[in-house]
Structure 1
């Protein structure tokens, strides 16, 4: 009987229902509310799981969480919030002893969600104690009734200007964070960002200095940090607090040093990042998004040797544990070569580049090669054929999924590019998924490419996506020359417009060829047509739908298989 399972097993089941990967699966989290009523043991376990990440589960009515949490605060903390100007009525506070210590159950700390809840809570309360100088002088539409209320000690929240309102929300959020760190125990996940609320001052980063933060972070497993130009550097503090990070994401929106002092500061921050990564034990997942301003190269050249090389080298400390790495917005790897990346992370199963420029290859013999690489992507990335070939040829024995949506920077002919690129795919004996955005790659016309593409596809492939403008003869040549049994065929935009939205040039004749392939091979199950418009007639699409499932999608997107979206 499941009702008699040990508490630790029950908790594992309940936690599975609310992990982020399952939130979209028929709202599994809603099942937990029914589990509250089974018995006392179930109720205790479910409550602790729900209150482990409450801000994610109650986004619609999450302002109510603030009342519950304030009820858990000591009296002096409640008075501090009231002193900030909030009309804190006794009705807001839950009287009597609480059944559970809700603060101690918190396991996932997301600053922006807490800030958002406080903002919503203040707006719901609607009235606030303000000074005459805090009123919004830009609002000239205050009615006479509201003018009479100015004599009262409390006024409408909308009468204060946005700056003072932001400061108020930040102040209350800071007080709530202070209580969380004092009583929450050890956190599993910490996300620190002001991406949704860019007007928040740098002061929000200092919450990591609050009393109790060191203990709260001592067993931290997931850390996501989004900062911007010259934000307060918290990584030295976090390096002192924790070395148990399993998943780390950092997005540093661009470092823009304008002088030598700024240049030194950038280097210091890169050093902090290197130290933080080096101190972790058992890092499994890394997302590194660092955008350094273009003028970084133009300042003192004597600072160049530091750069990204130590950071890439520090990943060798996680050679056995690191299985997923995303490198984003790195416009210049400076002295880092593709071989350096391979030797630093030979055991990764996922290697993704987004918005990068990767063009340095040393052509030296490698000390190690990829042993488990399954997923690889260049998304909106500029690269040389040498860089691409070096990565794939050193992972061709295990690669299963490849996505190429970028630009080849080599100044070679279409024929040379095509020959080099297609020969790479044929060496991947386990390749199952290939997404090839040829409009970016300049490989030549469809009549030149499709026959060669078909011959280069390994027998293991079952998902193929490309965006050639092709006629029925060329499409038929692809089908006849390939030895694989395609299960999913995705045909992309032929005439591209802005933002990746355009016309899909698949017409009735193309669909007739696809139907014939589906009837003969009996492997094709899904046809995906990508584009805001499709040239094929409604009747032709309906006829095709009798043989394969036809799916329409307006624009390109990252592969859900590769990027785990």
Structure 2
């Protein structure tokens, strides 16, 4: 009889599969031990499935069927009394109390699943009847969650992704206080009806992470919720709208000492409010145009003594202003990401950022000397991501510089191929020579290599001989890890 892995080992393995719902679901079918461990991880955030429409349809039916089977008797009777007859996945009692495993609730995804179920299983022609039935159905589902989840960790509520979400007063359901009091993460739209925010404001004062997608309306309830938080550490703001955020940003002043991570995406959010967050450790700004940084000049003289991570995913502020910012705040930076090119900025990194460990920046094909300067000055550098092809660096020249100039801690390289010309990609002989030279380095540090393919799917792995060389050095242990990824601007 084959020996089974211990439960704690299986748990660690299944934790790595949390985002792969298909594989994780298949683990349920192996044996009872696998099922008991995998089911808790699967249902922790069961709403996080990202597959084709056919798969989503099947999963939606499966989830709602399981939830119906878990409803208490009085809820089922109430639904039947109101003419709501939805076929459950099974008529038998469920093997587990699935709702109790949930640590993440997504209100809009639950709404979508219920909407889909009613449209496919109910013969309802009257819109009012449909809305009323959905209200009753949603109420019983959320009542069950509030009663069964001992301590919810994350709550998602995006209004634009649902069809007329009903105003369900979840805080008044039995068990809601235990369920919501220790909520640590909230992801929401700014225009969710105010009563929702007022409700959770009564219980949730220790939310650590909030993501807000700004719509045309910013709920007063959201502003109150923000102002009541005692330990807000992570904040992500997404806005495509002009103005209207002043009242909101003023509500953040109470979090001026606790906030350590701030991400702002898209446009039209004034940046001057950032100056109050003296304990920021990570700042990420993602704007398409340099004009969006019109008030960044206010920040150039502000000291953020704890700032370690600074990222500009697309456009960057005016160069002289950004360089001044680095002069004041670059000393403690360990990670810097810039999605635009400027040689003087790269030289400023070499001058003002000696502690950098992770760097993403752009070099033109004639700027190898600037790369050498960074490698020589930034002696703690461990990881660099660089574009190759077109007007940017040649990959062969890049690898030669890394062999001869990279500091002793360096061990991770990412190459973004932007060229559509296959001839610009390193030849097998040249690649082999790089690894041989790397092997002879004094540090004997193995290297991890990530290839980001261009829009045509071209990278050095397109050459079979290159892959044979990579496999050879992986077996030797010289390559610790080799990965290929699709081109993605938003990786951060």
Does TM, scored on the shorter chain, surpass 0.5?
yes
Match of residue 153 from structure 1: none
TM-score, normalising length: structure 2 = 0.72
1:210-249 correspondence runs (5 A): 210-212=172-174, 213-214=176-177, 216-226=179-189, 230-233=191-194, 234-249=196-211
Aligned counterparts of 2:144 and 2:459: Cα–Cα separation in 1: 60
Flag the 1:363–1:470 CA change in 2: closer, same or farther, 3 A. closer
Q: Size of the alignment, in residue pairs? A: 455
Question: Structure 1: how far apart are the matches of 2:78 and 2:16?
Answer: 35
Tell me whether 475-484 or 523-532 shows the greater mean CA deviation. Answer: 475-484
Q: Aligned partners of 2:458 and 2:426: how far apart in 1? A: 13
CA-based RMSD of the aligned residues comes to 4.6
**Residue 429 (1) aligns with residue 354 (2):** yes
1:369 to 304, 309, 312: 304
For the residue of structure 2 that corresponds to 1:377, the secondary structure is strand
SS at match of 1:556: coil
- 2:286 maps to 354
8 Å CA contact retained: 1:191, 1:224: yes
Contact 1:236 1:276 in 2 (8 A): yes
Q: Given the two structures, how large is their TM-score scaled by the length of structure 1?
A: 0.64
Q: Distance in 1 between matches of 2:394 and 2:68?
A: 67
Kindly provide the CA deviation profile for residues 380-437 of structure 1, in whole angstroms up to 9, marking residues without a partner as x.
Answer: 2442225533554455344333221147xxxxxxxxx422432223432332322224
Give the unaligned 5+ runs of structure 1: 135-162, 256-264, 298-303, 408-416, 439-444, 496-502
Give, in angstroms, the shift of residue 243 of structure 1. 0.5
User: 1:258 aligns to what?
Assistant: none
2:122 to 97, 105, 128: 128
Q: Secondary structure at the match of 2:212?
A: strand
Paired residue secondary structure (1:219): coil
Deviation at 1:287, TM superposition (A): 1.8
Whole-Å separation in 2 of the counterparts to 1:223 and 1:539: 46
Note closer, same or farther for the CA distance 1:21–1:85 as it changes in structure 2 (3 Å cut). Answer: same
Distance in 1, matches of 2:26 and 2:399, equals 49
1-structure distance, mates of 2:319, 2:313: 15
Aligned residue in 1 for 2:444 = none
* d(CA) in 2 for partners of 1:179, 1:83: 18
SS state at 1:118 partner: helix
Query: C-alpha offsets along residues 45-93 of structure 1, whole Å, 9 cap, x if unaligned?
Result: 9877766555559975553454454345455532442355443579965
Match of 1:248, SS state, is strand
Indicate if the aligned counterparts of 1:488 and 1:528 stay in contact, CA closer than 8 A: no
Q: Report deviation, 1:316.
A: 1.4
How far apart are the structure 2 equivalents of 1:459 and 1:526? 20
Aligned pair in 2 of structure 1 residues 420, 470: CA closer, same or farther (>3 Å)? closer
Q: Which of the numbers 465, 469, 473 marks the counterpart of 2:392?
A: 469
Q: Given that residues 454 and 481 in structure 1 are in contact (C-alpha distance below 8 angstroms), is that contact kept between their aligned partners in structure 2?
A: no
Inter-CA distance 209–371: structure 2 relative to 1 (3 Å threshold): closer
Contact 1:527 1:551 in 2 (8 A): yes
Distance 1:164 1:482, change over 3 A: farther
| Aligned equivalents of 2:239, 2:256: Cα separation in 1 | 19
Q: Residue deviations 1:368-390, cap 9 Å, x none?
A: 533262x3321124422255335
Q: What pairs up with 1:103-122 in 2 under 5 angstroms?
A: 103=99, 106-119=102-115, 121-122=117-118
Which of the two has higher C-alpha Rg? 1
2:140 equivalent to 1:175: yes
Cα deviations across residues 435-492 of structure 1 (Å, max 9, x unaligned)?
2245xxxxxx522x22122212323324333224345896588558844365444443
> 2-side partners of 1:181 and 1:446: how far apart?
59
Q: What SS does the corresponding residue of 2:298 show, helix, strand or coil?
A: coil
Aligned to 1:78: 76
User: Quick one: structure 1 residues 84 and 121, their matched pair in 2 at CA, closer, same or farther if it must change by over 3 Å?
Assistant: same
Please list every run of 5 or more consecutive structure 2 residues that lacks an aligned counterpart in the other structure: 50-54, 442-446
CA distance in 2, matches of 1:18, 1:430: 36
Match runs of 1:436-447 below 5 Å = 436-437=361-362, 445-447=364-366
